[in-house]
Structure 1
Amino acid sequence: MESNGQYGSTRDRLLDDLKLVLRDAEDLLRSTGEQAGEGYQVARAKFETTMGMAKDNLSEMEQLVAENARAAMESTDRYVKENPWQAVGVGALAGFVVGLILGRR
């Protein structure tokens, strides 16, 4: 369960968008592979290098996000197991507040 709500879904959309951009860039490189000119070839090689670094960074970021999410889940699970009545109280309070908010609409 994602503990940071909207931030998590925004982050996931951003990661998906970055993957799409990288795929589109790879397709562009494949389709323009036959272009002539030394300047173009230098720019293409530089772009390929930059894109490779971006893919590596994206992969590292995904791994870090997964590790952080896992750590947060484990921490929450540990807290609930160590403090079950406090967790029940917090859940009840959250339910009460949501009920009040929805009741005013």
Structure 2
Amino acid sequence: MASHAPRTSESTQQLREDLNQLTQTIEELVNATADDSRSNIKELRERAEKRLKDTRERLETRGERIYDEARDSVTQQADACDRYVHDNPWTSIGIGAGVGVVIGMLIGRR
């Protein structure tokens, strides 16, 4: 799990840079509309559209990668839990009973 931290930090930094670039381009586009130079507006609009498209593609790719990593992690944890229950059935029954008692007490207080 510790190996995910540097990648997550790196992805977060890249996302910030992407969003900053997109924000700058959109601000330039808004500022350009103040003067009536049509060629300037068209150029900035094209740049904004390209950056928006690039940022969206990067976000989709990162989202898919994060989803895959989370799914794999949850699957590994579920498998580990399943192995533990099979290796220690009586301990698992005791833990389940204890959790059931606590939940029952909490529900009974209402």
TM-score class normalised by the smaller sequence: 0.5 to 0.7
C-alpha separation between the residues in 1 aligned to 2:108 and 2:75?
35
**Match among 100, 105, 109 for residue 104 of structure 1:** 109
Which residues of 2 match residues 22-101 of structure 1 at below 5 A?
Answer: 37-101=42-106
TM-score computed with the length of structure 1 as normaliser: 0.64
Unaligned runs of 5+ in 2: 1-40
Which residue of structure 2 aligns with residue 4 of structure 1? none
Q: Separation in 2 of the partners of 1:37 and 1:92?
A: 68
Q: Which residue of 2 aligns with 1:26?
A: none
Q: Which runs of 4+ in 1 moved over 3 A?
A: none
RMSD (Å), alpha carbons: 1.1
For structure 1, list consecutive stretches of 5 or more residues without a partner in the other structure.
1-35
Percent pairwise identity = 27
Q: Distance in 2 between matches of 1:83 and 1:91?
A: 12
Number of residue-to-residue matches in the alignment: 70
TM-score relative to the length of structure 2: 0.61
CA distance in 2, matches of 1:99, 1:43: 57
Which one scores higher on RCO, CA 8 angstroms, separation ≥ 6?
1
- Structure of greater Rg: 2
